[in-house]
Amino acid sequence: MVSKIIPVPSFDCIVFGGIGDLAERKLIPALYHRQCIGQFTEPSRIIGLSRSSVTENEYRNFVYKSIETHVKDEDIDSLEIEEFLERFSYISLDVTKELGWNQLKERLECSQAGVRAFYLAVSPALFSDIAVRLGETGLITPDTRIIVEKPIGKDLDTACALNNRLGDVFSESQIFRIDHYLGKETVQNLMALRFANALYEPLWNSNHIDHVQITVSESVGLEGRIGYYDHAGALRDMVQNHMLQLLCLVAMEPPSLLDANAVRDEKLKVLRSLTPININNVGKCTVRGQYLAGASSRGLVKSYQEDLGELGKGQSDTETFVALKINIENWRWNNTPFYLRTGKRMASRVSEVTVTFRPIPHSIFTNDAGEVIANRLVIRLQPNEGVKQWLMIKDPGPGGMRLRHIPLDMSFADAFSGRNAGAYERLLMDVMRGNQTLFMRRDEVEAAWKWIVPILDGWEQTGQPVHGYNAGTWGPSRAIAMIERDGRTWNDTL
Ligand code: BG6
């Protein structure tokens, strides 16, 4: 089936942090791709903002370079680029001072676009100030939206404080909290797989599913984000948001329709049903790790402490890896643990959900047939997106009944031709459409923090150690021991 392009209303997209890393690597290329496929309605403009004094020409050069660097050669079209560059303008603006605000107001007042989207691609420390200033300057129309990136706070209190400040100025339906994992093609496929097929739903519960594993491993290290990361750590950086969102999509009840609030209501119920992990069970249900020097897929790499250099003074106990065993207290999942693990400098870059079904109740086969291995559904989010349903079959040919465990393998690259749209493309267009299904609602973010904070407190109060793991491995051996104590193993076919 040919995909259908639904144009979005005309917009002004105003990017705070217009010459920053996020704008360069993600936002500009994403908008370019969406123009190329014809999703814009005219007049649509993009206004870059930052403190630097940059001329319009210099800014367009920056945009051009971003496309040259981050868009594949086969997708570069000089006529499209020309048209794209015409949408851009730049204002030098200081968030906390007077510089640029009047100019921004004037530029927006003469706008004929339908939607006004303020993208805060800046440090979260500036989110509140910008929101308040947008209100004071009178820039918020009924069709205005604000887009914020994580981290939304560093604990429950700071998240609530930020949400309050945003809520003073914007209604919840105008606030788009990005979790870019929700924009990934295969993450959405989780919903299609579960709710567009009759096959899985009757089996999707503790009676038939033994356990679920969610792995998000990265081969990269800090990538220059030392200051942020050393204060955050893997639990805040990856689990509070991306991984809990994945868990919610796997575990939630079917919403009554694919509507933003219906979906988010169901995810919220999951977050509120997670068994607390706190001072009492944090040693049993979590493992913290930190990478040591080692041979990764990127060659020989330094340890976390060395990467921190002077800043860490060899003493940081920030976790770059975390594994968790999570129980969900509801009828559907009561006996089915969810094991999560994520880390930097691991053996490879893989994001995968593995659903392991219960073993058959009785085997009719003799030992000669070989072991009957439980069925497994593996949803690969990246790279090489696809779905594998592992089944037992008879080994073809004569020689009696011998069983084999093999996958029904649907690689998306083989099944579908064409470019796979990146997460930011989809999410940006959803902002313009006003569709919040793939964005986090305030209560979700706060429920996630409410569950995460006792883990952080538990670690501190019980002095949970950070176990070293060599770069290029699957994390500390304790993480393996944690799952093996339950008679299970991490999916090693990654
Ligand atoms: C970000 C984290 O949210 O997600 C990073 O802050 C992490 O630390 C990144 O590297 C992973 O995203 P992706 O899309 O590369 O899996």
Report d(CA 426, CA 484) in Å as an integer: 39
Ligand 1: nearest atom to the Cα of 232: 6
Report d(CA 283, CA 306) in Å as an integer: 27
Percent of the chain with pLDDT over 90: 88
Question: At residue 312, does pLDDT exceed 80?
Answer: no
Unique residue bearing structure tokens 């976790």: 319
Can you tell me the mean pLDDT for 240-264? Answer: 97
Question: At residue 313, does pLDDT exceed 90?
Answer: no
Report d(CA 411, CA 417) in Å as an integer: 11
Question: At residue 142, does pLDDT exceed 60?
Answer: yes
Residue 193: the pLDDT is 94
Q: Which residues line ligand 1 (CB under 6 A)?
A: 180, 218, 237, 351
Ligand 1: nearest atom to the Cα of 179: 3
Give the pLDDT band (50/70/90) at residue 165.
very high
Residue 460 CA to its chain's centroid (Å): 26
Pocket test for ligand 1, best of 177, 179, 180, 345 (most atoms within 8 A of CB): 180
* Centre of ligand 1 from the C-alpha of residue 235, in Å: 12
* Centre of ligand 1 from the C-alpha of residue 84, in Å: 28
Give the pLDDT band (50/70/90) at residue 420.
confident
106, exposed or middle or buried, with CB in 10 Å at 0-12, 13-18, 19+? exposed
pLDDT in tens, 442-468: 999 999 999 999 999 999 999 999 999
**Rounded to the nearest 5°, which phi and psi values hold at 321?**
-145, 140
Question: At residue 97, does pLDDT exceed 90?
Answer: yes
DSSP tally for the chain: helices H, then strands E: 17, 18
Residue 439: the pLDDT is 97
Residue owning the nearest CA to atom 8 of ligand 1: 237
Can you tell me the mean pLDDT for 252-256? Answer: 97
Residue owning the nearest CA to atom 4 of ligand 1: 238
* Centre of ligand 1 from the C-alpha of residue 156, in Å: 21
Which pairs with CB-CB distance under 8 Å and at least 24 residues apart come from 261-269?
Answer: 261/441, 263/191, 263/437, 264/436, 264/437, 264/440, 264/441, 264/444, 267/444, 268/441, 268/443, 268/444, 268/447, 269/330
Average pLDDT of the chain, as a whole number: 94
Name the more confident of 344 and 2: 344
Give the pLDDT band (50/70/90) at residue 120.
very high
pLDDT in tens, 345-400: 999 999 999 999 999 999 999 999 999 999 999 999 989 899 999 999 999 988 88
Can you tell me the mean pLDDT for 331-351? Answer: 96
- Report, as residue numbers or ranges, the catalytic residues: 242
Give the pLDDT band (50/70/90) at residue 227.
confident
* Centre of ligand 1 from the C-alpha of residue 108, in Å: 33
Ligand 1: nearest atom to the Cα of 220: 10
3-state DSSP percent of the chain in helix, strand and coil, to 5 = 40, 20, 35
* Centre of ligand 1 from the C-alpha of residue 218, in Å: 8
283 sits in which H/E element: helix 282-285
Percent of the chain with pLDDT over 70: 98
Lowest mean pLDDT among 54-63, 122-131, 219-228: 219-228
Residue 1: the pLDDT is 47
Pocket test for ligand 1, best of 178, 218, 243, 427 (most atoms within 8 A of CB): 218
Report d(CA 277, CA 269) in Å as an integer: 17
Can you tell me the mean pLDDT for 78-95? Answer: 97
Report d(CA 148, CA 387) in Å as an integer: 31
Q: Tell me how long the chain is.
A: 494
Can you tell me the mean pLDDT for 101-121? Answer: 95
pLDDT in tens, 280-308: 999 999 999 999 999 987 789 999 999 99
Q: Helices in 343-463 by DSSP H: which ranges?
A: 412-415, 423-433, 442-462
Can you tell me the mean pLDDT for 137-162? Answer: 96
pLDDT in tens, 318-327: 999 999 999 9
Can you tell me the mean pLDDT for 237-241? Answer: 98
pLDDT in tens, 49-68: 999 999 999 999 999 999 99
Unique residue bearing structure tokens 């969810």: 338
Helices 244-251 and 260-273 cross at an angle (nearest 10°) of 100
Can you tell me the mean pLDDT for 203-219? Answer: 97
Residue 224: the pLDDT is 83
Pocket test for ligand 1, best of 26, 179, 181 (most atoms within 8 A of CB): 181
